[in-house]
Homo-oligomer: A and B are copies of this chain.
């Protein structure tokens, strides 16, 4: 008999019929002899409606108190746990619901994006011992003083993984609307294959490169506490992708996947002095404008003068330009700024590349043969990322996916 934590997202519990489907799935797992804790999110659309209500009572231009925002948002998951437990009980199962607070999920006091500080799963164990299926509210917890908190984006995944760690579950299953993690986005590369397994680090690099299966935060937590989890679909019974610590055998695969991110833009500052403090004088104002920067590339300078390029989301390009205009003159005579939209990022990810030479060379040659011009290059230990013209990203992805033999991968 295994102890299994399952997590169902907002789409999976989006209406009464879907809740009944999840209830059936949970009961099947229980009937197979397992002890089950199922973490559920708010029904799709509910959180947005609550946010809308909050903005209507607070009025134009005012932010709702964050403490109260958490009290409000927590009702979304509380509604789902009650409905899911009811559905199971109505079908002859035996389920009880627990809010985050009731399940002993203690967080810090940073409302709307709290961090889990501690889990005291006594109630969870007690209800499991009595033969119950436990339906647990994702996304929420309480402070040591009893205030209701929420965990922010990706919070329900985090609840599932943290609870799996706290109760030493044998497996954590993240049910979503995709079948698992793919070698590439199947809408772009039709030959993309679902992966049987992937390491935490690879999934993290895939996520940061646009393959948004899960928030990085939950994957990092799973890595830290060694929680194996499976990403799988709530719409069918196909096996998903197992995410786990890396093993020797994983290294024999050089590249695990290709991920792509569209709607990028690039800013290049040319002719800046290669002096200490230059970078902070550029990126300070951009950060202050709340613009998130992705890639940063600076080449070595030969003449004491260098160029610095960075990428941002296309939507943030105007904000970044506006933030930089006032500081250009301070950066030196002849400093110019060039902004360019219409670019996209392509990344290849794999722990195997650490022990295989020539991955970068093969990628660049592939792109060259495909007639794709590389604009910027940035690498980490297990990732190579390049930017290309947005209208060439599909050609680039298909070529690289093929060149690294991903289409032929088993699983």
A4 lies within 8 A of chain B by Cβ: no
Find residues 6-39 in chain A having any chain B CB closer than 8 Å to their own CB: 16, 19-20, 23
- In the assembled complex, A184 has its CB within 8 A of some CB on chain B: no
Q: Contact mask A144-185 → B, CB, 8 Å, 1/0?
A: 001010000000000000000000000000000000000000
**B68 engages A97 (CB within 8 Å):** yes
A68 in contact with B56 given A62-B90, A146-B102 (CB within 8 Å)? no
A23 proximity list for chain B (CB < 8 A): 57
Distance of A59 Cα from B65 Cα, bound (Å): 39
Residue from B57, B90, B99, B102 in contact with A58 in the complex, judged by beta carbons closer than 8 Å? B90
Q: Contacting chain B: which of A81-89, A333-341, A395-403?
A: A81-89
Asked if B82 and A78 sit within 8 Å, CB to CB, the answer is no
User: Is residue A74 contacting chain B, with contact meaning CB distance below 8 A?
Assistant: yes
In the bound complex, what is the Cα–Cα distance between A193 and B282 (angstroms)?
75
**Nearest neighbor of A71 in chain B, beta-carbon distance:** B82
Contact of A57 with B20 at beta-carbon distance under 8 Å, contacts A71-B81, A75-B79 already known: yes
In the complex, which residues 87-107 of chain A have their Cβ closer than 8 Å to any Cβ of chain B? 87, 89-90, 96-97, 99, 102
Chain B residue contacts of A87, Cβ below 8 A:
57-58
Q: Does A67 make an interface contact (CB < 8 A)?
A: yes
Give Cα A87–Cα B54 distance, bound, in whole angstroms: 8
Q: Produce 1/0 per residue, A329-351, CB < 8 A to B.
A: 00000000000000000000000
Closest B residue to A90 by beta carbon equals: B58
Contacts of A235 in B (CB 8 A): none
Query: What CA separation (Å) do A71 and B102 show in the bound complex?
Result: 11
> Within the assembled complex, what's the spacing in Å between the Cα atoms of A72 and B16?
14
Whose C-beta in chain B lies nearest to the C-beta of A23?
B57
**Contact (Cβ within 8 A) B79 A50:** yes
Contact present for B96 and A53 (CB under 8 Å): no
- Name the residue of chain B whose CB is nearest to the CB of A70: B82
CA distance A58 to B17 in the complex (A): 10
**Is B72's CB under 8 angstroms from A57's CB?**
no
Chain A residue total in the interface (Cβ 8 A): 39
Q: Which residues of B contact A58 (CB under 8 A)?
A: 86-87, 89-90
B68–A89 CB distance below 8 A: yes
Closest residue of B by beta carbon distance from A43: B53
Whether A16 and B75, one on each chain, are in contact in the complex, defined by CB atoms closer than 8 angstroms, is: no
For A19, the closest partner residue in chain B by CB is B57
Contact with B along A294-312 (1 / 0, CB 8 A): 0000000000000000000
Q: How far is the CB of A124 from chain B (nearest CB, A)?
A: 13
Question: How far, in angstroms, from A68 to B94 measured CA to CA in the complex?
Answer: 12
In the complex, whether A69 has a CB less than 8 A from a CB of chain B is yes
Closest to A74 in B: B78
**Any chain B CB within 8 A of the CB of A64?**
yes
- Check B16 against A90 for contact (C-beta < 8 Å): no
Chain B residues closer than 8 Å to A148, beta-carbon distance: 99
Separation of A79 and B86 alpha carbons in the complex (Å) = 21
Q: How far is the CA of A385 from the CA of B86 in the complex (A)?
A: 45
| Nearest CB of chain B from residue A137's CB, rounded to whole Å | 9
CB distance B69 to A86 under 8 Å? yes
If A16-B53, A57-B87, A102-B146 are given as contacts, then 5 extra A-B residue pairs at C-beta distance below 8 Å, sorted by A number, are: A64-B90, A68-B82, A68-B83, A72-B86, A99-B148
